[in-house]
Structure 1
Amino acid sequence: MGIGKEHKLDAHKKLLIGLIISFSSLGLIILCCLCFWFYRSKKSLKTTKNSEEAENGISLSKKSFVKSFNYKTLEKATSGFKDSNLIGEGGFGCVYKACLDNHTLAAVKKMENVSQEAKREFQNEVDLLSKIHHPNIISLLGYGSEINSSFIIYELMQNGSLDEQLHGPSRGSALTWHMRMKIALDTARGVEYLHERCRPPVIHRDLKSSNILLGSSFNAKISDFGLAVMVGSHGMNNIKLSGTLGYVAPEYLLDGKLTDKSDVYAFGVVLLELLLGRRPVEKLSSVQCQSLVTWAMPQLTDRSKLPKIVDPVIKDTMDHKHLYQVAAVAVLCVQPEPSYRPLITDVLHSLVPLVPVELGGTLRLTQSSS
């Protein structure tokens, strides 16, 4: 009898030990699973965050490295800033074609004996462009600074500015209807990046045809960020009125009220330039000027008049349905009341179907011709 009890006790002990070992093993497995899940979740969260940052743009609070060039290097690259290398003139200086040591072609903006205002714009442009990277924003290659001179080095855009192409000697002859729509779409993509992808958002404040540069394939890039401001930046409501006559939105001109819709207005004026081949302000006499927006508005909404005021270079080369669509977008962009203007994202979505697939849109030419 004693032996039977002892046997039962051993059996219970073995069962108890077995259960303890089993539960311990199960607990260890669960703990390992929890650790693995936590690790994967953390990694997934990091990946998601990175992908969101890639999709949503960049934080402009982060510092970026910018290459510094000395005067001798830039002097050599521009052959001593020769007149034959001069490719443009701006408000604060000249732009020269340059060939850097690594055989990279570049554009060097040279500013001499600059004012305090010019120095602020120079610093603002270098700071912003060092953090902004987008196919439709000009690339900053570096900067240079001497006692009396400052330099900004950009990628070279072989076809100059949209202003030169439209209003220069060629009078827009190199720009077909589809090429003009591509330039409008490229510009809209650049502005959308500034408004929707940058954190905080950026208002360009001086969007115009001379600040839209064209590459070898007429790919458009927005340049000149000296006047650009970040939304919510200190003293944004007390910014000195700046911009170019004909492109400045009425609420900004009259009340100093600056929003992203100010850029949308300027974009609308650029769209009218592409459509009509006219300058934003035209001189009628020595004392009288006419705004393109004021002149065009009554005719843009009249389907019988619109085809007659289109740039003669592209007249009758487009589907009239597309012409009316682009005119409608331009009319919305230049509305006097900013709340009536669309967001640049909406403008972008309106233009995509009007640009051929091979130029970055979704239009299939075989369909449009049938």
Structure 2
Amino acid sequence: MLTREVKQGILPNGSVAVKRIRNNHTIDEKLFYREVDSLLTVNHQNVVRFLGFCASTEQTAIKIEGSRQRLYAEIRERLLCFEYISSGSLQEHISDELRGLDWNTRYQIIKGICEGLHHLHKEKLIYHMDLKPANILLDNHMVPKITDFGLARLDGKSQTMSEDRCGSLGYCAPEYLRCGRMSFKSDMFSLGIIITELVTGDKGIPDNDKNNVLRRWRHRWKKSGKETPLVYQQVAKCMEIGLRCQEIDPSKRPFIWDMIDDIREMEGVNGTINNAYEYPFGQIGPYSEDDMLGVEPLELRFPFEHNKQISCSLKLTNQTDAYIAFYVETMSPLPYCIQPNKDIVPPRSKSSVQITLQAQDKAPRDMKRADEFIVWSVNVNDGLTPEDITMDMFSKENGVVDAVKLDVVFTQERAPERMMVQQLRIR
């Protein structure tokens, strides 16, 4: 099985990414040159550019224990050089609808991935077979570039991959997991997962949550003032495409050339919308009322001090005409005190929650912790009291329930350097 180790190489005119191909026993020359042959034919702005390769072979003598004889073995070194992409992978930018990359950036990334995959599939007849956010790099302008492909060129002998090569769990098509069968449709399954993650932050969308995705984007757009008919259309269409690509039956998934025109047309001109498309997910559309409880900030910052309580405030805003009950749940083992941890926010009003971490003699091991709290909220009838609020109320059987996740960051200020007073004394 070929394994890859990627390092940054420094040259006088810039940096390159050097992939060293290793094997426990020896390098399969056929596979290596097959990969090089594939890489040499690829030239697209959404695929990492291949710069060259190095292939060297040395012989070494290995003494056989208990014998005067020696074995002569080959040591093969194989290096592949690519353009160096400085902004990391897409994996580092996956987040839910309420935070992280704005929608236009996400849409341009989706479009770029589809364009790159279209080049590999349609023009170069190459399967990727390990498409995932970690294998999509982003340049300084957030342009996506597909990487780590090449061993799956389409020919009469490549319809089934070897048993020792495995795609990444969570992105790998079920037919490949079951029987090693690969095709263009296998990559489309992985693409569907990636598109869904870019839209929602999660790999899947439950049937009863499709409208909720648009509600959450609507909430963010209204706060930023970037709400237009076009963005609703784009989110709805990307969700539809992502779900079609995740069909268990490969024959029901689209080919990349079947869907690329939809992606291109959805970019819009001057913010215009194509009337040929309709909103497939219910009544959520442009300029509908924002019915979510506002939660700020989404990242709680605690100024950590040893052996001292530290606190952070959470602001909840109800801009609707309904009463909204909330419940703040902590997912952390740390001893937090939440006051109040549940309450009711009346229409057109605000509420404040104080979150306090009890004194700790050691700084937390992870200074940034994801999904430490969840703020649950649901519309309720007037007259309900905080004592009536239970977690059972936040079941989706009781209506539209929102769950807003909060991250935690601990900041630790450096102690100021002690000044040598005696040197500053005025004599």
Q: In 1, Cα distance between the equivalents of 2:195 and 2:180?
A: 24
Change (3 A) 1:231 1:112: closer
Q: In 2, Cα distance between the equivalents of 1:119 and 1:314?
A: 53
Tell me if structure 1 keeps the 8 A contact 2:3–2:23: no
Q: Select the structure that is richer in strand.
A: 2
1:135 lines up with 2:45 in the alignment: yes
Counterpart in the other structure of 2:185: 261
Q: In 2, Cα distance between the equivalents of 1:176 and 1:113?
A: 42
1:158 to 86, 90, 105: 86
Secondary structure in 2 aligned to 1:202? coil
Q: In 1, Cα distance between the equivalents of 2:39 and 2:220?
A: 35
Change (3 A) 1:202 1:367: closer
Q: In 2, Cα distance between the equivalents of 1:239 and 1:312?
A: 47
Change (3 A) 1:350 1:209: same
Q: In 1, Cα distance between the equivalents of 2:43 and 2:213?
A: 38
Secondary structure in 2 aligned to 1:236? coil
2:242 to 314, 322, 330: 330
Counterpart in the other structure of 2:3: 92
1:202 lines up with 2:126 in the alignment: yes
Tell me if structure 2 keeps the 8 A contact 1:329–1:350: no
Counterpart in the other structure of 2:406: none
Change (3 A) 1:230 1:136: same
Counterpart in the other structure of 1:54: none
1:364 lines up with 2:248 in the alignment: no
Secondary structure in 2 aligned to 1:203? coil
Q: In 2, Cα distance between the equivalents of 1:105 and 1:312?
A: 42
**AA partner of residue 245 (structure 1):** L
Report matched runs for 1:215-230 at 5 Å.
215-226=139-150, 228-230=151-153
**Cα offset, 1:235, TM superposition:** 4.9
Counterpart in the other structure of 1:233: 156
**Cα offset, 1:307, TM superposition:** 3.0
When the two chains are superposed, the root-mean-square deviation of aligned CA atoms in Å is: 3.3
Tell me if structure 2 keeps the 8 A contact 1:183–1:218: yes
Which is higher, the Rg of structure 1 or of structure 2? 1
Q: In 2, Cα distance between the equivalents of 1:238 and 1:247?
A: 16
Counterpart in the other structure of 1:358: none
1:213 lines up with 2:141 in the alignment: no
- TM-score normalized by the length of structure 2: 0.51
Q: In 2, Cα distance between the equivalents of 1:308 and 1:244?
A: 31
Counterpart in the other structure of 1:108: 18
**Cα offset, 1:107, TM superposition:** 1.3
Counterpart in the other structure of 2:350: none
Secondary structure in 2 aligned to 1:137? coil
Q: In 2, Cα distance between the equivalents of 1:94 and 1:172?
A: 32
Change (3 A) 1:340 1:97: same
1:246 lines up with 2:138 in the alignment: no
Secondary structure in 1 aligned to 2:3? coil
1:307 to 199, 214, 228: 214
**Cα offset, 1:111, TM superposition:** 4.3
Change (3 A) 1:206 1:365: same
**AA partner of residue 332 (structure 1):** R
The C-alpha deviation readout for 1:71-124, integer Å capped at 9, x for no partner, is: xxxxxxxxxxxxxxxxxxxx93442322324x0321122345654478765444
**Cα offset, 1:181, TM superposition:** 0.9
Tell me if structure 2 keeps the 8 A contact 1:275–1:311: no
**Cα offset, 1:190, TM superposition:** 1.1
- TM-score normalized by the length of structure 1: 0.59
**Cα offset, 1:314, TM superposition:** 7.7
Counterpart in the other structure of 1:190: 116
> Highest relative contact order (Cα 8 Å, sep 6+), 1 or 2?
1
The C-alpha deviation readout for 1:215-272, integer Å capped at 9, x for no partner, is: 121111111015x322233253364352111111112222333221111111001101
Q: In 2, Cα distance between the equivalents of 1:151 and 1:141?
A: 11
**AA partner of residue 253 (structure 2):** R
Secondary structure in 1 aligned to 2:16? strand
Secondary structure in 2 aligned to 1:229? coil
Q: In 2, Cα distance between the equivalents of 1:125 and 1:315?
A: 48
**Cα offset, 1:363, TM superposition:** 3.7
Q: In 1, Cα distance between the equivalents of 2:94 and 2:154?
A: 32
Secondary structure in 1 aligned to 2:54? strand
Secondary structure in 1 aligned to 2:149? coil
Q: In 1, Cα distance between the equivalents of 2:153 and 2:192?
A: 21
Change (3 A) 1:306 1:164: closer
**AA partner of residue 214 (structure 2):** P
Change (3 A) 1:216 1:172: farther
Report matched runs for 1:64-83 at 5 Å.
none
Secondary structure in 1 aligned to 2:36? helix
1:126 lines up with 2:66 in the alignment: no
1:180 to 82, 87, 106: 106
Q: In 2, Cα distance between the equivalents of 1:341 and 1:216?
A: 33
Change (3 A) 1:235 1:202: closer
Q: In 1, Cα distance between the equivalents of 2:131 and 2:184?
A: 11
